[in-house]
């Protein structure tokens, strides 16, 4: 029986240290913190948010969630948590890994002094004998390349250098795609795909690498080793947020969320990386729209604007939020022995 304490040290603006100590409860081997502590930390108060959800926020952000669910909304954009929100007595709790790897980097995206963005590596998924998702209307490999080429043009116009992992209908292995980005310093990796599923399935989703020690529908097993891509966890989620929110806003497509996965391009990459799924080839109505040049332009434009917003926040100190809000904190855990929550046992 152990009760753990998570000591969260906040390095405040001006170099003054304020310390908050949060109780950590272990539920089925996952560390959780109380959402009441989280709301207090961000100075959030109850808000009117999504129907049926618990919603808190400040002037800039409204966060909505539900007990026992992995859905998490920030300003109405959907994220999928690595672990469900739990209810212990009257307390709602969120896993500390979601707190560190999702909630905090999304609410307070940080300037990374060692992160510069000069080159965008665009990876149009599939190619050659690998068509990806196929319908009578379009092949995924062609849609991916069409959006990628439009995105290249827009980014070049903004002064970015662009490298395409493929610029034609040929096959590349996943590792070859990653190797291209890993050879280019100061780059990010944006993999463009389109989806397949049940014919009714539709909408846009964006994937980032699952954090160390987590599982999710797309990350499958819980994995405790740190992957190369995990070195960029904060940048990954910041990039996903910037791109995904703009794509949802401008397309009006169903928001399938920012989700976690361990797709091989995300695992071994040493640059900030996302995998963007622009809609369902298997949905006739959506696919007909995706096959039009105007919809491809719209997707390319929102990805481009997302990349620019990411660059302004993460790579440019002068315009960073850190100048107006407290500086990024460091999270340290200290574990001390005491008594445990029997919640997991009571649940069964």
Residues that bind Zn ion (CB under 5 A): 125, 132, 193
Q: How far is the CB of 132 from Zn ion (least distance, A)?
A: 4
Q: Return d(Cα 209, Cα 181) in angstroms, integer.
A: 16
Q: How far apart are CA 24 and CA 10, in angstroms?
A: 17
Q: How many CB atoms lie within 10 A of CB 73?
A: 19
Closest approach, Cβ 281 to Zn ion, in A, equals 9
Q: In the complex with Zn ion, which residue's Cβ is closer, 106 or 240?
A: 240
Q: Whose Cβ is closer to Zn ion: residue 144's or residue 320's?
A: 144
Nearer to Zn ion, 49 or 132 (CB): 132
Cβ 125 to Zn ion shortest distance, Å: 4
Q: Report the candidate in 330, 331, 344 with the shortest Cα–Cα distance to residue 2.
A: 344
Shortest distance (Å) from residue 180 CB to Zn ion: 18
Distance in Å, CB of 216 to Zn ion, minimum: 18
Smaller CB separation from Zn ion, 7 or 134: 134
Residue nearest to Zn ion (CB): 193
Cα angle 224-230-236, degrees, rounded to a multiple of 5: 140
CB of 18 to Zn ion, least distance (A): 46
CB 33 within 8 A of CB 23: yes
User: Which CB sits closer to Zn ion, 238 or 265?
Assistant: 265
d(CA 232, CA 274): 11
User: At its nearest, how many Å lie between Zn ion and the CB of residue 126?
Assistant: 6
Please enumerate in sequence order all residues whose Cβ is within 8 A of that of 292, keeping only pairs 6 or more positions apart, or say none. Answer: none
CB count in 10 Å sphere of residue 242: 25
What is the rounded CA–CA span in Å between residue 119 and residue 117? Answer: 6
Q: Is 257 helix (H, G, I), strand (E, B) or coil?
A: strand
Of 84 and 132, which has the nearer Cβ to Zn ion? 132
Q: Output 126-134 pairs: Cβ under 8 A, ≥24 positions apart.
A: 126/193, 127/166, 127/168, 127/169, 127/170, 127/171, 127/172, 128/169, 128/170, 128/171, 129/171, 130/171, 132/193, 132/194, 132/196, 132/281, 133/194, 133/195, 133/196, 133/280, 133/281, 133/282, 134/281
Q: Which is nearer to Zn ion, 17 or 171 (CB)?
A: 171
Alpha helix (H) ranges present in 194-318? Answer: 233-251, 264-267, 284-290, 293-314
In this complex, which beta carbon is closest to Zn ion, that of residue 193 or of residue 244?
193
Q: CB of residue 145 vs Zn ion: minimum separation in angstroms? A: 12
Cα–Cα distance, 108 to 87 (Å, whole number)? 26
Q: Which one, 72 or 189, has the nearer CB to Zn ion?
A: 189
CB 54, min distance to Zn ion, A: 35
Question: Scanning the structure block, which residue is given the tokens 């929110």?
Answer: 245
């Amino acid at each position: 029986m152990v009760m753990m304490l998570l000591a969260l040290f906040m390095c405040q603006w001006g170099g003054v240290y304020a310390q908050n100590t949060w109780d950590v409860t272990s539920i089925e081997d996952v560390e959780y913190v109380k959402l009441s502590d989280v709301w207090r930390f961000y100075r959030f108060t109850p808000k009117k948010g999504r129907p049926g959800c618990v919603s808190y926020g400040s002037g800039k952000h409204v966060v909505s969630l539900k007990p026992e669910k992995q859905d998490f909304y920030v300003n109405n954009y959907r994220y999928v948590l690595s672990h469900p929100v739990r209810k212990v007595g009257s307390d709602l709790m969120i896993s500390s890994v979601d707190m560190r790897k999702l909630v905090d980097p999304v609410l307070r995206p940080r300037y990374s002094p060692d992160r510069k963005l000069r080159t965008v590596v665009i990876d149009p998924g599939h190619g050659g004998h690998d068509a990806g998702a196929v319908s009578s209307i379009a092949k995924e490999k062609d849609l991916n390349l069409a959006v990628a080429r439009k995105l290249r043009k827009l980014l070049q116009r903004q002064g970015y250098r662009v490298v395409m992992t493929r610029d034609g209908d040929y096959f590349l292995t996943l590792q070859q795609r990653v190797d291209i980005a890993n050879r280019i310093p100061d780059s990010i990796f944006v993999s463009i795909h389109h989806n397949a599923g049940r014919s009714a399935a539709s909408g846009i989703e964006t994937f980032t690498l699952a954090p160390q020690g987590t599982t999710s529908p797309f990350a499958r097993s819980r994995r405790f080793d740190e992957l190369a891509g995990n070195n960029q966890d904060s940048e990954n989620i910041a990039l996903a947020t910037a791109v995904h929110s703009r794509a949802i806003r401008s397309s009006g497509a169903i928001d399938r969320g920012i989700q976690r996965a361990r797709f091989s391009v995300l695992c071994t990459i040493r640059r900030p990386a996302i995998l963007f799924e622009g809609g369902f080839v298997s949905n006739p109505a959506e696919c007909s729209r995706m096959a039009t040049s105007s919809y491809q332009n719209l997707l390319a434009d929102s990805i481009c604007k997302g990349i620019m917003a990411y660059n302004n926040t993460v790579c440019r100190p002068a315009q960073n939020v850190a100048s107006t809000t407290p500086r990024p904190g460091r999270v340290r855990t200290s574990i001390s022995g005491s008594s445990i929550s029997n919640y997991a046992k009571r649940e069964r």
